[in-house]
């Protein structure tokens, strides 16, 4: 069975999106890169405002309407993989192991490579500020939280390793 899905889980500004782009460049077959940011951008702005609360310090609280759309989106990503697409998922497991379980259930029967993307929280915080499109504090708040009790096939650390080197390490594990 060939790998159909690569799930990259890491906190905000940990380097997941850069790794996903590099994976698309180094993997021999075409792969779609989809992430939680894709989902958020597809949602109505009113829902983003009403159902996603960001506390001072960057802690996120997600409401039921967001969760309903997220569940449908996860099933949709799984359906694309079942239909033959190879998919890189750029995700932030705010619910840690419970988030992974939702994905595992949807992706059942597919070959999935689970990758933890780690980054020192101070480095991620610096990236967050440089990006200018994130609430300050999200990177620190999420750096460890998203990995709690999550089981990976492989972990990479972008603190001192470039996205391309991480992508090559991941690509070496893809069937």
The full length of the chain comes to 175
Where in the sequence numbering do the catalytic residues fall?
37
Kindly write down the DSSP assignment for every residue of the chain, as one continuous string.
Answer: --EEEEEEE--TTSSHHHHHHHHHHHSSS--EEEEHHHHHHHS-HHHHHHHEEE-TTS-EEE-HHHHHHHHHHHHHHHHHHHTT--EEEEE--TTTHHHHHHHHHHTTTSEEEEEEEE--HHHHHHHHHHH-SS-TTHHHHHTTGGGTT---SEEEETTTS-HHHHHHHHHTT--
The pairing of strands 87-91 and 32-35 is parallel
């Amino acid at each position: 069975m060939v790998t159909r899905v690569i799930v990259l889980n890491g906190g905000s500004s940990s380097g997941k999106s850069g790794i996903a782009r590099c994976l698309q460049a180094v993997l021999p077959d075409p792969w779609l890169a989809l992430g939680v940011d894709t989902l958020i951008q597809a949602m109505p702005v009113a829902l983003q405002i009403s159902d996603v609360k960001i506390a001072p310090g960057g802690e996120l609280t997600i409401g039921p309407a967001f969760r309903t759309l997220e569940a449908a989106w996860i099933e949709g990503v799984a359906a694309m993989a079942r239909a033959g697409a190879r998919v890189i998922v750029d995700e932030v497991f705010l619910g840690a192991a419970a988030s992974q379980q939702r994905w595992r259930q949807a992706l059942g029967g597919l070959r999935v490579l689970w990758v933890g993307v780690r980054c020192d929280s101070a480095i991620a915080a610096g990236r967050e500020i440089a990006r200018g499109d994130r609430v300050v504090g999200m990177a620190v708040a999420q750096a460890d939280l998203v990995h709690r009790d999550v089981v990976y096939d492989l972990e990479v650390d972008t603190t001192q390793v470039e996205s391309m080197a991480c992508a090559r390490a991941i690509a070496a594990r893809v069937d």
